Chain A
Amino acid sequence: MYKILVLATFFFCVSCSALMNGQSQPVKLIDNRSNTYMTSCNGTAETMGSCHQKARETCDQGYKTLDEKIDSTGMFREIKFQCK
């Protein structure tokens, strides 16, 4: 019983750790010279608002949206942006 309790506590803590540290989709630098980036906000936990929020956090002086794509299934979204 004690071992089961320890194991249950272990798995509970591991689960909590994963739930406390969600993973965002990364911002990718695609052109160093023009300071152009791309990020996706696919799935249900992120939205197009998340894409723009990541752009804001990447560019201290603001950004310009170069391209915005949403597919017709609702699964995939991405933006390409350039820091000012």
Chain B
Amino acid sequence: MNKNIKLAVAGAVLALSASANAGIIIPAGEWTIDINGNVNAFALWNKSDHNETVTGGIATRKDASGEKNTQGINTGLLPSWLGVTGKTRQNDLDVEFTISLQPGVSDNHAHGDLNVPVLNRQTYVSFGDKSWGTIKLGKDIGIFASNAILNDMTLLGVGAVANGGQFVGSAASGVNSTIGGIGSGYIYAAWKGQVAYTTPNINGFQATVGITNPNQGLDLEGTANATTALYQDRHGLEGQATYSFAGDAVSGKIWVGGASYKVKNATTSASTFVEHTATVGDIGANVNFGNIGLTGYYYSGEGVGTTAMFLQSRDSAGSKRDSDGGYVQATYVLPTKTKIGLAYGKSNLDLTSAETSSSSAVVAHNKRYTVGAYHPLTKHLNLVAEWSDIESEAHSGVKNENMTISTGAILFF
């Protein structure tokens, strides 16, 4: 047995009452309350190389005066987080609730406290039993593509800083999060109202299916009169199946997922409505052996757009655009326990047959390279340093590029 592990085990024997959960555990009658979350902040240096119009691009642009450099202080891809979870066992059921809030660490208002709202990403209740599974009702991370972001090494770092292709000044500070690898390898799972059922874990196999709020993001489709005000025919459907394994030398996870939405929206005329079914599927794997970790992911869809669900998903006549993408990532843990990583991701968006590529400002692809170092200064405090290079190219051939260097820390509790 490794000497350090032996010492850690010996220490743990002396503290048997300590909970395995990372949060702050408070016994409260029949309930166990877990206060958990993180505080993170990063210094960012961003350089933009062009100032082109790329609709749906995520790379930043030079500002209106032609300045290419900007700096800021911001939270990373994951905002700072304060979550409260309560758990109890009643009438042979595991019952749990979670409510969480996500503040940022910078605000560009003169007072520094007015422009950036505190987010609310989780409000849900769940109940179930290991014998038959769990039912969850409320808002939590979307089911489709959740494993793509949960395995992205920039999730607790910075990654891309883009803010919808806005000018550089709006990207490096005064927003609640950066976008990591979102839009350059996967579609954002987002935070969705849902009713979901998760099976018991059967020898490493587990599946989740659910109905989701169908009214999110419909105003981002790309048609002139896109709106969230129309009635949709049904709930969204999302699902994911995972198989986890651990052997003598290798551990990991393989997953497949999918989503289907029936979407109705207005086109160039506010009285002309087109309805289509948007579908998307994905597959991914994460494998770890020794100090090496490898992750690969791919998705393909029709009418789901790019970066976020439905973003630029249709042309002006309401026809569906196809999209696909994926990322690969390799990490290695040094003897100092510092994890270093390299990632490459790309998201593609096709035009419809009615669109002309030579004149279209719609993004053809967003792609990203990231090199990162992640160091466990203590068991609850990680230092992070990253370099990312982002490119957004339109179908017309014009492109924006930016480079971001970030360094900071994340404390989780």
Q: Which residues of A contact B (CB under 8 A)?
A: 18-30, 32, 37-40, 42-50, 52-58, 60, 62-63, 65, 67-68, 70, 72-76, 78, 80
Contacts and interface: CB of A to CB of B under 8 A. Distances in A.
B83 interface: yes
Given A20-B336, A43-B382, A73-B81, A29 B9 contact: yes
B2 A57 contact: yes
Contacts of B18: 28
A73 B83 contact: yes
A44 B153 contact: yes
B352 to A, nearest CB: 35
Nearest to B2: A57
A54 B70 CA distance: 42
B50 interface: no
Contacts, number: 157
Interface stretch (B243-251, B272-280, B360-368): B243-251
Given A25-B379, A49-B293, A43 B412 contact: yes
Q: Find the residue from A26, A32, A45 having the highest chain B CB count within 10 A.
A: A45
B104 to A, nearest CB: 16
Contact of B251 (A26, A49, A73): A49
A28 B205 CA distance: 26
Nearest to A54: B5
B156 interface: yes
26 contacts: A20-B336, A22-B336, A22-B377, A23-B337, A24-B4, A25-B379, A26-B11, A27-B5, A29-B12, A30-B16, A42-B380, A43-B382, A44-B155, A44-B374, A44-B384, A50-B333, A53-B291, A57-B2, A58-B5, A68-B201, A72-B150, A74-B78, A74-B149, A74-B156, A75-B36, A75-B81
Contacts of A18: 377
B256 to A, nearest CB: 17
A24 B122 CA distance: 29
Contacts of A22: 336-338, 375-377
Contacts of A55: 246
Interface in B82-130: 83, 100, 122
Q: How large is the interface on B (under 10, 10 to 19, 20 to 34, 35 or more residues)?
A: 35 or more
B13 interface: yes
Nearest to B245: A65
Contact of A40 (B9, B22, B289): B22
Contacts of B288: 47-50, 52-53
B23 to A, nearest CB: 8
A56 B246 CA distance: 10
B246 A65 contact: yes
Q: Find the residue from B37, B156, B253, B338 having the highest chain A CB count within 10 A.
A: B156
Given A23-B377, A50-B333, A78-B20, 16 more contacts: A18-B377, A19-B375, A24-B379, A26-B379, A42-B412, A44-B156, A45-B337, A47-B331, A52-B251, A54-B5, A57-B5, A65-B246, A72-B140, A74-B149, A75-B156, A75-B412
Q: Find the residue from A40, A52, A70 having the highest chain B CB count within 10 A.
A: A52
B196 to A, nearest CB: 11
B157 interface: yes
B15 interface: yes
A51 to B, nearest CB: 8
A78 B21 contact: yes
A22 B340 CA distance: 13
A81 B20 CA distance: 12
